[in-house]
Amino acid sequence: MGLFGSKKKVEEAAEGGEAALSDGSRVQVARRVDCRGDSCPRPQLMTKKAVNEIASGGVVEVLVDNPSSVEALPPMCDELNATHLETIKDPNCWRVYIQKD
């Protein structure tokens, strides 16, 4: 086990991985990062890594259940050259959608 735990959580989105935003638009998800159960700074570090690995225009879906992580992700988009598309609250977590510029 490494400094931040196991490496199970960053994955390529399943083929055809789409997400519906609240305005009715749909986006293709290039990477899904599952940070449920993790606290800061792990979600930010994993999100940064995923955004850096995808092509321009790609979307990262980050699953988090830690309120402070949800608040920390959108402001860091500027330093990642990315745009926060939306945060959607699900029953057990938040889904944060970030698009690489």
CA 60/CA 89 separation, integer angstroms: 16
Q: What is the pLDDT along the chain (101 residues), one digit of tens a residue?
A: 455 555 545 555 544 489 999 999 999 999 999 999 999 999 999 999 999 999 999 999 999 999 999 999 999 999 999 999 999 999 999 999 999 99
CATH code of the domain occupying 28-100: 3.30.110.40
Report helix, strand and coil shares of the chain as percent, to nearest 5: 20, 40, 40
CA 71/CA 55 separation, integer angstroms: 25
CB atoms within 10 A of CB 6: 7
Given this model, what pLDDT does residue 16 score? 45
pTM of this structure: 0.86
CA 70/CA 53 separation, integer angstroms: 21
DSSP state of 92: S
CA 70/CA 55 separation, integer angstroms: 23
